[in-house]
Amino acid sequence: MTLPPEVGTGAETAVPEAVLVGAGPAEGRSLGQIAWMRLKRDKVALGGGIFLIFLILVAIFAPLIVKYLGYPPNEFHQELIDTAGGTLTPIGRFGGMSWDHLMGVEPVNGRDIFSRVVYGSRISLLIAFLATLLSVAIGTTLGIISGFIGGWTDTFTSRLMDVFLAFPLLVLAIALAGVFPDQAFGLEGNQLRIALLIFIIGFFNWPYIARIIRGQTLSLREREFVESARSIGARRGYILRTEMLPNLIAPILVYSTLLIPTNILFEAALSFLGVGIRPPTPSWGGMLSDAVVYYTQPHFMFWPGMAIFVTVLAFNLFGDGLRDALDPRANR
Amino acid sequence: MFAYIVRRLLWAVLLLIVLSMVTFSIFYLIPQLGGASPETLATRYVGRAATAETVHLTAERLGFFDPVPVQYWHWIKGVLVGAEYDYGAGVEHCPAPCLGYSFITKQPVWPELLDRAPVTISLVVGASLIWLVAGVTVGVISALRRGTVFDRGAMGVALAGVSLPIFFTGLVALAFFSYRLGITAPGGQFVPFSENPALWAYSLLLPWITLSFLFAAQYARLTRAGMLETMSEDYIRTARAKGLPERAVILKHALRGALTPVVTIFGLDVGLLLGGAVLTEKTFSLNGLGKYAYDGIVNNDLPKVLGVTLVAGFFVITANLIVDLLYGIIDPRVRLE
Amino acid sequence: MNHSRSWRARGLATVGISAALVLAACGGGGGGGQQGSSNQSAQAAFDAAYTSVVNPSDKKGGTLKFANPADWDSLDPGETYYGYAWNFARLYGRSLMMFKSAPGKEGNQLVPDLAEAPGQSSDGGKTWTYKLRKGVKFDDGTEVTSADVKYAVLRSIDKQTFPNGPTYWEAVLDLPSGYKGPYKSPNMNTDSAIETPDEYTIVFHTTNPFAAFEYLAQLPQTMPVPKDKDTGAKYRNSIVSTGPYKFADLQPGKGFNLVRNDQWDPATDPNRKALPDRFEVTVNVNADDIDNRLLSGDLDVDIATLGVQPAAQSRVLQDPNLKANADNPLTTRVQYTTINSTVPPLDNIECRKAIEYAMDRIAYQTAYGGEFAGGNLATTLLPPIIAGHTDFDLYPNGPDHKGDLDAAKKSLEACGQPNGFATNIAYRPERPKEKATAEAFQQALSRVGIKLTLKPYPAGDYFAQYCGLPPFVVKQKLGLCLMSWQSDWPDGFGYFSQIVDSRVIRETGGNTNLGVRIPEVDQMLDKALAELDTDKRNQIWGEIDKRVMEEAVIYPGVYARLLLLRSKNATNIFVSDAWGGYDYLGLGAQK
């Protein structure tokens, strides 16, 4: 498993180098059509997918949503806090939940939790998506090349994967994020943080995708249609582009979808440990970290925790469904 | 086979060296991006209100004025043959493997690692056995009772386990079971096995269960998938046709085929976890390698971080090697080159 | 392919399961748990330990359990720099003078410990002579002589071996130039700094008059160290004790026990009762666990004297039974913010005054934990406990203390920024209270058009590279720097010397004076140190306070209070002004 051990979801699909993985597209109807039919039948996966679309819309329209349903995410409302008694917790049950503040307010400063969760979705999704993109880009490229060309290239890439796999990922991520200065490469502040997090999460996770793609490539390489393409004199680049890549899209798509929730959890873990996004910008992991201090009243942990949970669950459900739809031999 | 092992071992040593170099770079080279000098690095290791003189002396003592490759060389030499430590009133010999002295506490790192390793090992071994047994059992039953309420429920809970961040589940579990109900030990109560096995298990109960909840999920799903696949194979039908009792069919034949990927993943997971259970240890205040690493990072205590990184890397590399070897043995289709 | 996948429908149901779990865990939120009601029959009131001794007793015996959420910077009395460490060190070491083990203000008095009587000063305050008591022994039976005290002080000067400790001795004593401590300069003659004319007399010579020398004499660095048992940086693991207790089972990073020192002779020690038989101390314990164990009675003292965590704070303040068993002392710590005159437009005093008027001090207090765990609203730099403090408020911020926006706007006009201006505010993100305060500043000042950008900088380097590095402050336009300061000891010098003296500011960084550069104040500091009359000296501290506030370079937030929990097992619990927390020397144990 290449992912940080306590933040993993895809162990069952990571395989050691010594194993071949077989897969192949269904013949007959186009893959896309078959997959879509299967997906439509899978209500739960569909539900996950719909939720994801909803989430993405929320992230995109966050400012609008907050304008009508909440308050500015960094605005204090200390009149809602028990300052007289000294507990500094919101007045009212369930952390001050009310029609005004749908999820209650934070202790000490009285910020609206609903708005912060909504804005937090932007950070989580942005980082997770871009990091996944980075992993997939690197992983697919290296996986295809090493699987297809074989020989020394393959050995070298496999050794490289070993190096990355041997890293105690969380330790190094914390170290890097903690040690990195506030200004570098022309960026600063939260922009730099976000770029750094995308880099750390994305860059160290590429072996996960690469291994799978390599395995798929290895098996595809031996199949007849590739043989026949070669026999009519097709060049390597052509074969890669027109024969292999379309058949690899399925696993790429599936494992990307399954990698995203891992990355969400990873970013949350980094924020929780204090090396993620800087305050006051809200992020789910950061909100959990703040809320931990009031752990005897878990209201404050509840909303960001549930946000992470439901998002990760939706991605998993959808990703599972996608995998089942695209891969007929997976018996789930 | 022998040549393969030797080659892998050499490769393992090389990997560890690369790992240490990367860690070194992170601590010394990255801050230079922000314009740090040896003195600014040293300011983390002096007390409050230290004079510039103190900072300079500390930077000198810790070797920050040497170029980074030279510092690295000193450290590697220490690992291989040992080093001398000047404690002011005298000089102490630090035997090999000398992983240095903590910048903050000035204690030698290697003995501290040895001291903390049992905690992490206890945590991981215990949790891994629980999740293996629980996951496989649930997976088998789910596969056998496919489509029933049990199946759906179990797989659902499995999915939940995979989707919750451990620092969230851990904290909620602590708040609920330890503090509100008082049935499990509160955080930070580790008792060594040699001292009291019963208390040892009690102190680790909640971390074990919380951690294994995370992993059992995957193993249940994996086992279930594997079982479903093997159960539809021909040789199972043959076994049944031969009149073997159902139990033997399942346990002896179907399960064995299904378990191959599980064993593989298990080895990798345990290896990784041994070096990096940072979140669990921090949540439950367990003084293991993960927490040691986290404390080291937070205080910029390079010797500690280097030490843990090496140990973690060692565990991961060893686990990878064992798993690859096992796989080569178990699955005759695989050839190790 | 007709295998059912609707099992995953249950996956969504588990959302409900987890929700139920969490809601059940939070049901009723914060009300007293099963440890709520206390069974103490004679129950003292809230904050009683400041004015009286709670559970007085002379019973000897028992064990006290201490826990530390972090670790000592060092147990070695020669290089530890935390108040709690100095408080605790008196159990295993005896310094020349010490703070009296008594409640409240009385705890601020200095009484002779190793010395027979307070020091005799001569030569205009440049020479200080102490006579040691006879018959004081190390835990191995050897008698303590003045040479041991001299050695202890001199070794603490070696900052390469001991980087953590306070730096007063090397700054104040008349040491030979190039002296690097006994390990590196073993043969240098140091009589110019410290003389030992006989075995029981020790004489200190300072380069400049130092009227507050008694406070230096109480530093743990004067606790004697036997030269033949000194192991430099490793001495912290094998300390030789002169106090009523000595070390046993010390495990670095984990904890230690203190057991009775049979060589300690009570006849030589009128200051200590030494009631418990044993202390068990664990370090690096989770702070929330500490609170829970204090409440359940499994632990006696949170040694760090930082107050309870917010989770316990809510519980304690909401439950009258728990609250009655808590104390809320004022400390000598002040949470304040520097307004840096090196960053335009704050070079104009009117712009600085605008910030003084506009800030919401109540929000500052709330950010730090409210009235109980945060503290009292502060309008001066010098806290009330330190002699010389007077109450004054140069920048009244409205009857509700949330800011006088009209006065702020007037000041803005006077400094030529009628619509406000933009600048940055720096803080340490590892400290949630500072984070909350920075956010409070941002909110409050935006009301008059002052736009702040939050700049978090790691606590480890805050003074070395960020707020404490003057060129960085200018370059990054850090108009405001959050700060928290506690006096090294409760007098004006111990409080002011490092935060308002402009001559200690180094352009290379590492400053705790983040922005006070007033030449008049520097002169007043010198004058105070030369003033041997204590009352007159204290008055000068008060004048310094006013002068600093007139420059509007400091925004005082709160005089810190702590919320502390009393032990159920301990006796003789009282708070001393010297430590701003429980006096560890006086405690006894019931069992």
Secondary structure string (H, E, C) spanning chain A: CCCCHHHCCCHHHCCCCCCCCCCCCCCCCCHHHHHHHHHHHCHHHHHHHHHHHHHHHHHHCHHHHHHHHCCCCCCCCHHHECCCCCCCCECCCCCCCCCCCCCCECCCCCCEHHHHHHHHHHHHHHHHHHHHHHHHHHHHHHHHHHHHHCHHHHHHHHHHHHHHHHCCHHHHHHHHHHHCCCEECCEEHHHHHHHHHHHHHHHHCHHHHHHHHHHHHHHHHCCHHHHHHHHCCCCHHHHHHHHHHHHHHHHHHHHHHHHHHHHHHHHHHHHHCCCCCCCCCCCHHHHHHHHHCCCCCCHHHHHHHHHHHHHHHHHHHHHHHHHHHHCCCCCC
Residue from the list A292, A313, A316 with its beta carbon closest to the beta carbon of B171 = A292
For CA atoms C196, C197, C201, C203, the dihedral sign is negative
pLDDT score at B7: 84
pLDDT score at B330: 63
Residue of C nearest to A318 (CA): C8
Flag whether pLDDT at C460 surpasses 90.
no
Minimal CA separation from A189 to chain B, in Å? 13
For the segment C418-435, the average pLDDT, to the nearest whole number, is: 88
Flag whether pLDDT at A104 surpasses 80.
yes
pLDDT score at C538: 92
Residue of B nearest to A9 (CA): B162
Chain A within 8 Å of C446 (Cβ-Cβ)? no
Minimal CA separation from C159 to chain B, in Å? 5
Minimal CA separation from C433 to chain A, in Å? 9
Flag whether pLDDT at C209 surpasses 80.
yes
CB spacing of A107 vs C442 below 8 angstroms: no
More confident residue, C86 or C460: C86
- Tell which of C289, C290, C439, C466 to mutate to test the A interface (max A CBs under 10 Å): C439
CB spacing of C363 vs A44 below 8 angstroms: no
Neighbours of C260 (CB within 10 A): 16
What crossing angle do the helices spanning B289-298 and B109-144 adopt, rounded to 10°?
Answer: 120
Confidence of residue C218 (pLDDT cuts 50, 70, 90): very high
User: What distance in Å separates the CA atoms of residue C387 and residue C304, rounded to the nearest whole number?
Assistant: 25
pLDDT score at B46: 80
With beta carbons under 8 A apart, name residues in chain B contacting C65: none
Which region among A311-320, C104-113, C143-152, C456-465 has the lowest average model confidence (pLDDT)?
A: C456-465
CB spacing of C159 vs B53 below 8 angstroms: yes
For the segment A89-99, the average pLDDT, to the nearest whole number, is: 79
For the segment C244-261, the average pLDDT, to the nearest whole number, is: 92
Chain C within 8 Å of A8 (Cβ-Cβ)? no
Flag whether pLDDT at C102 surpasses 60.
yes
Residue of B138, B127, B327, B164 whose CA lies nearest to B221: B138
Q: C193: which DSSP letter?
A: T
Q: Can you list the residues of chain B whose pLDDT is less than 70?
A: 34-35, 49, 187-188, 327-337
CB spacing of A305 vs B172 below 8 angstroms: yes
Query: Between 3.40.50.150, 3.40.50.460, 1.10.3720.10, 3.40.50.720, what CATH number should domain B109-330 receive?
Result: 1.10.3720.10
Average pLDDT, chain C: 88
pLDDT score at C31: 35
CB spacing of A288 vs B222 below 8 angstroms: no
Cα A197 to Cα A200, A202, C124, C534, distances in angstroms? 5, 8, 62, 57
Minimal CA separation from C516 to chain B, in Å? 16
Radius of gyration, alpha carbons of chain C: 26
pLDDT score at A7: 52
Neighbours of C310 (CB within 10 A): 26
Residue of C nearest to B43 (CA): C464
Residue from the list B30, B168, B279 with its beta carbon closest to the beta carbon of A301 = B168
pLDDT score at B332: 58
pLDDT in tens, C515-526: 899 999 999 999
pLDDT in tens, C329-367: 999 999 999 999 999 999 999 999 999 999 999 999 988
pLDDT score at A20: 37
Residue C375's SS3 state is strand
CB spacing of A174 vs B228 below 8 angstroms: no
With beta carbons under 8 A apart, name residues in chain C contacting B51: 159, 167, 510
User: What distance in Å separates the CA atoms of residue A318 and residue C5, rounded to the nearest whole number?
Assistant: 12
- Tell which of B58, B104, B152 to mutate to test the C interface (max C CBs under 10 Å): B152
Residue from the list C1, C317, C363 with its beta carbon closest to the beta carbon of A87 = C317
Domain chopping of chain B, boundaries: 2-94, 109-330
Chain A within 8 Å of C399 (Cβ-Cβ)? no
More confident residue, C3 or B211: B211
pLDDT score at C341: 93
pLDDT score at B79: 86
Minimal CA separation from C336 to chain A, in Å? 18
Residue of B nearest to C234 (CA): B87
Residue B240, C-beta contacts closer than 8 angstroms, at least 6 positions apart: B246, B249
Report the Cα–Cα distance between both ends of chain C, in Å, rounded.
71
Cα C403 to Cα A331, C339, C438, C447, distances in angstroms? 67, 17, 16, 10
Helix (H) or strand (E) holding B325: helix B302-330
- What percent of chain A is predicted at pLDDT more than 90? 11
CB spacing of A299 vs C8 below 8 angstroms: no
Flag whether pLDDT at A39 surpasses 60.
yes
Residue from the list B159, B179, B300 with its beta carbon closest to the beta carbon of A313 = B159
pLDDT score at C196: 94
pLDDT score at C30: 36
pLDDT score at B49: 67
Chain C within 8 Å of A40 (Cβ-Cβ)? no
CB spacing of B47 vs C10 below 8 angstroms: no
Flag whether pLDDT at A2 surpasses 60.
no
- Tell which of A109, A112, A182, A283 to mutate to test the C interface (max C CBs under 10 Å): A109
pTM assigned to the model: 0.82
Residue of C315, C341, C397 whose CA lies nearest to C29: C315
CB spacing of A78 vs C371 below 8 angstroms: no
Length of chain C: 591
Chain C within 8 Å of A228 (Cβ-Cβ)? no
CB C358 within 8 A of CB C403: yes
Length of chain A: 332
Confidence of residue C111 (pLDDT cuts 50, 70, 90): very high
CB spacing of C366 vs A88 below 8 angstroms: yes
Residue of C196, C203, C193, C148 whose CA lies nearest to C168: C193
- Tell which of A39, A87, A299, A306 to mutate to test the C interface (max C CBs under 10 Å): A87
pLDDT score at C560: 93
Residue of C92, C113, C382 whose CA lies nearest to C240: C92
With beta carbons under 8 A apart, name residues in chain A contacting C432: 290, 293
Residue from the list B160, B180, B228 with its beta carbon closest to the beta carbon of A331 = B228
CA atoms within 13 A on the CB side of B185: 20
Average pLDDT, chain A: 78
Q: How many CB contacts within 8 angstroms connect chain B with chain C?
A: 164
With beta carbons under 8 A apart, name residues in chain A contacting C33: 296
- Tell which of C23, C72, C160 to mutate to test the B interface (max B CBs under 10 Å): C160
pLDDT score at C43: 56
Residue of A nearest to C368 (CA): A108
Given a contact as 3+ CB pairs under 8 Å, which chains touch B? A, C
Number of helices followed by number of strands (H, E) in chain B:
15, 2
Greatest mean pLDDT range, A25-29, A72-76, A172-176, C63-67: C63-67
Chain C within 8 Å of A75 (Cβ-Cβ)? yes
CB spacing of C457 vs A290 below 8 angstroms: no
pLDDT score at C537: 92
Flag whether pLDDT at A244 surpasses 90.
no
User: What distance in Å separates the CA atoms of residue C477 and residue C463, rounded to the nearest whole number?
Assistant: 16
pLDDT score at C328: 92
Q: C242: which DSSP letter?
A: -
Place of tokens 């925790």: A305
pLDDT score at A31: 65
Flag whether pLDDT at A56 surpasses 70.
yes
Given a contact as 3+ CB pairs under 8 Å, which chains touch A? B, C
CA atoms within 13 A on the CB side of A199: 11
Flag whether pLDDT at C37 surpasses 90.
no
User: What distance in Å separates the CA atoms of residue C118 and residue C100, rounded to the nearest whole number?
Assistant: 13
Minimal CA separation from A324 to chain C, in Å? 9
User: What distance in Å separates the CA atoms of residue C345 and residue C347, rounded to the nearest whole number?
Assistant: 5
CB spacing of A87 vs C313 below 8 angstroms: yes
User: What distance in Å separates the CA atoms of residue B155 and residue B109, rounded to the nearest whole number?
Assistant: 44
